[in-house]
Chains A and B, each alone.
Chain A
Amino acid sequence: MKPGEESRRRRTGAGLIDGLAALAIAPILGGLGCAPATDGAAAAPPSPPTQAGERAPSAESAPDGRMYGFGTAATAADIAAFDIDIGPDGAGLPPGQGSVEEGLAIYEAKCIACHGATGSEGPWDRLAPRLPADEFPFAEDPSARSTVGNYWPYATTLFDYTRRAMPFEFPGSLTDDEVYALVAAMLYMNDLVPADAIMDSAAVTNIVMPARDRFVEDDRAGGPEVR
C-alpha cells in the first residue's frame, strides 16, 4: 500500500457534510452534493511513480514520509506572514476593537467615494440597507440590490474582506482596530448594531446576520432535470 493510501480512502466520503456540520448552516445543508467522490477508485489521486529508476520514495531524500522531498518546511513565521483568513466561527480574528463612531469617521475619509454617504448610493458595491422584513427577493426581482445587511451571511466575512482588499486604492492598509471600527460602522448602517456599539473578536463572531440561514446546498447533479 502506498503511503497515505489508507487515509486517502477514509477521506473520500462525506467530507463536505462533515465540514459544514461545524457551521450554523449545517441543518440547511443536509447533504451537500457538489460531487463528493464516494467511489474510492474515482477519488484516488494519480499513482506516484514507484518503479525502479524513477523518483521513488526514498528514506534518504524523504526521511519524514514525504514522497519526493522537494520544498522546505514552513516555519511559524512563514505561516504567520500569510495567514490572514478569518473563519465564520471567528477563528483568526486578531486582538483589537473599534466603535461605530470611529468607523464612520474612517468611512467618510476612505470609503465614501465608492460606497456613498449612507452606504447605499454607490457607485460601487452597496453596503446597505437591510430590507424592512429581511426579505430575500433576489431571484424574483432582478432589480433588487444585494447588500451587506440583506445578503452577507457572516459578519466575520466583513472583517476578512475589508482587511484583505480595502480600501480599493490602498488595499491591505488598514489597521486591525480600523477594520473593527469599519465593521461596526457597516453593521450600524444596516441597523444591526446600535450607535454606541464596539466591535471586537467576540462581538463580530456573535453577530447573527439576517441572511445567515438563506444558503443551501447546490442540488444540481446532472441528469435530465433542470435545476
Chain B
Amino acid sequence: MDENGRSIPAESDEEHGATTLTRRGLLTGAALAAGAAISARAAKAVGAQAAPDPTKVPGARPQVVGSRSPHETPEKLISGSIGGVTRTPHHELHGILTPADLHFERHHHGIPQIDPASYRLLIHGMVDRPMLFTLDELKRFPQVSRLHFLECSGNGGAAYRVDPPTDISPQAMDGLLSTSEWSGVSLATLFEEVGAHPDATWFLAEGSDAAVMSRSIPMEKAWDDAMIAYGQNGEAIRPEQGYPARLLLPGWEGNASVKWVRRLELSDRPFMFRDETSRYTDPLPDGRARIFSFVMDAKSIITHPTYPTRLEDPGFVEISGYAWTGRGVIERVDVSIDGGATWEAAELQEPVLPKCTTRFRHAWEWDGEPAHLMSRAVDETGYVQPTAAQVRDVRGPGTRYHYNSIRGWRIAADGTIGFAAS
C-alpha cells in the first residue's frame, strides 16, 4: 500500500520503497501485537530487576538525555525502504503535539546526511541581491515559533476505496499527519533581505536530498506565513524532517514543505516540476486535473476508541481525536454514534490554533449495543468535512490526493471495533 492507500505492490507505479509492504503488513494489528510483546518483555525485565517497593530503594541517577519508560514503546509504522514512508501512532498519543521521533515521514530518495557547518541556503533569481546564508546566519534573524500540522496530501487513501479494510488502525489509515512547534525565520524576512522583485510571483524550493526534491510555490505564501524552519518541538529539526533546515508552509500539503532546503529561486512563473505535474495533481471527472492544489481542507479523525482496541464492558467511553484545517481554525467538531443519523457537538480542547490540530473529546456511555462512531469537522470558512460519497460525486473514484472524507468506526456488541467509512 502506498501513501494513497492503494494496495498495489506488484504493479505499483509509485516511488521506490513506498509500496513494498503489502496491505497485510500495514494493518497494524501485527505491528501492534509485536509492540505489545516487546512492551511486555520490557516490563518483565524491569520487573525482575526493580525492587518491589520503589519508596524503599534509591531511584535511578539522572541522565544527560532522557528516555521513555521501558513500558512505553510507541513506534512509527514503516512501509517501504529508501522511498520512505512512516506513519505516526495516533492511538498512542495525547494532546496535539507529536514527539519529534514519532513524526511521520515521506521522502522521495532517502534521508540525506548534511553537515551543518557546510550548509548554505542560496536565494537568487528575481532578487536585487543573490545571497548565501549559513545555518548560523539564518538563526541570527528574528525567530518565529508556531504550532502547525503537516499532512501528506496522499494521507488516508485507504478510506476512499469503495471497499476499505475494517482491520486498520488510525495510524495505518491516517498516520501521515503530525503536529509540531516549528521555529525558524519568516520567509518574508529573508525575501526582504535579498530584495525580492515586485514582479516575482513564484519561487522554486529545492532540497539537497538524492531526489533534489523541488516544488514551485506562489510568492503570496512567503508574504503570508511561510518560514525556513530549523527547530522542531524545542530542538533542532531531526534529519528525517529536514535537518538542518526546511521550508514550512502552514496548512499546505506536506510535499510542498521541501526538506533539507538548499535553494530558493524567485521567478515570474511556476517551474512545472515532476512532483507538481505528474504527481500531486488531482484528476477530475471532466477530464481535467487540478494543479497547485496546495491547501489541506478540514478533516477530523477519531483516535479512540478505534481498531485494534476492544471495549471491555459497557460504561463510560471518552471519544477523542484530532480535527484540523489548512484554511484557519476549527470551528466545531460533531460526533455521531449512529452512523451519521444524528450528531452532537464535541468539546474542543484549548488551544484551538490556526492550521494546527485541535483535540476534541466527547463523553459517551456505551450501552453494549452495536454503534457506528463518526466525527465531522467544520472550519472557520463554513466548510463541512464531507462524506466519501460527496467527494466521489465531485472528484470521481480515481482521485489521488486530499482524502479528507468522514471516517467511521463500527463497534460490535462484543466490543470489537472495525473501520467503516462514511
Instruction: List chain A positions with a Cβ less than 8 A from chain B.
Output: 3-4, 7-8, 10-12, 15-16, 18-20, 22-23, 25, 28, 32, 34-37, 42-46, 48-49, 55, 64-68, 70-74, 78-79, 82-89, 114, 122-126, 135-146, 148, 151-154, 156-157, 160-161, 164-165, 168, 171-172, 214-224, 226-227
In whole angstroms, what is the CA distance A53 to B157 when docked? 53
In the bound complex, do residue A37 and residue B109 qualify as a contact, i.e. CB atoms below 8 Å apart? no
A220 surroundings in chain B (CB, below 8 A) = 290, 293, 295, 297
B289 surroundings in chain A (CB, below 8 A) = 136, 138-139, 214-216
A28 surroundings in chain B (CB, below 8 A) = 288
Interchain Cβ contacts within 8 Å, total number: 290
A87 surroundings in chain B (CB, below 8 A) = 267, 269, 271-272
In the bound complex, do residue A122 and residue B12 qualify as a contact, i.e. CB atoms below 8 Å apart? yes
Nearest B residue to A152 via CB reads B278
| In-complex Cβ contact of B193 among A34, A46, A68, A141 (8 A) | A68
A45 surroundings in chain B (CB, below 8 A) = 186, 188-189, 191-192, 222-223
Asked if B142 CB lies within 8 Å of chain A CBs, one says yes
Closest 8 CB pairs of A and B: A45-B188, A222-B381, A139-B396, A19-B201, A138-B283, A15-B201, A161-B274, A74-B130
In the bound complex, do residue B267 and residue A19 qualify as a contact, i.e. CB atoms below 8 Å apart? yes
In whole angstroms, what is the CA distance A19 to B108 when docked? 27
Stretch at the interface among B96-104, B131-139, B176-184: B131-139
Asked if B210 CB lies within 8 Å of chain A CBs, one says yes
In the complex, how many angstroms separate the beta carbon of B399 from the nearest chain A beta carbon? 6
In the bound complex, do residue A157 and residue B272 qualify as a contact, i.e. CB atoms below 8 Å apart? yes
In the bound complex, do residue B124 and residue A83 qualify as a contact, i.e. CB atoms below 8 Å apart? yes
In whole angstroms, what is the CA distance A34 to B276 when docked? 14
In whole angstroms, what is the CA distance A11 to B224 when docked? 12
In the bound complex, do residue A222 and residue B379 qualify as a contact, i.e. CB atoms below 8 Å apart? yes
Nearest A residue to B211 via CB reads A165
In the complex, how many angstroms separate the beta carbon of A46 from the nearest chain B beta carbon? 6
In whole angstroms, what is the CA distance A130 to B140 when docked? 52
In whole angstroms, what is the CA distance A34 to B11 when docked? 34
In whole angstroms, what is the CA distance A168 to B211 when docked? 9
Sampled A-B contacts (26; CB under 8 Å):
A4-B196, A7-B196, A15-B218, A20-B269, A23-B269, A46-B142, A46-B186, A55-B142, A67-B189, A68-B141, A68-B193, A72-B132, A74-B132, A79-B122, A85-B206, A87-B272, A124-B12, A125-B14, A139-B284, A142-B397, A152-B277, A160-B274, A164-B212, A218-B294, A223-B381, A224-B382
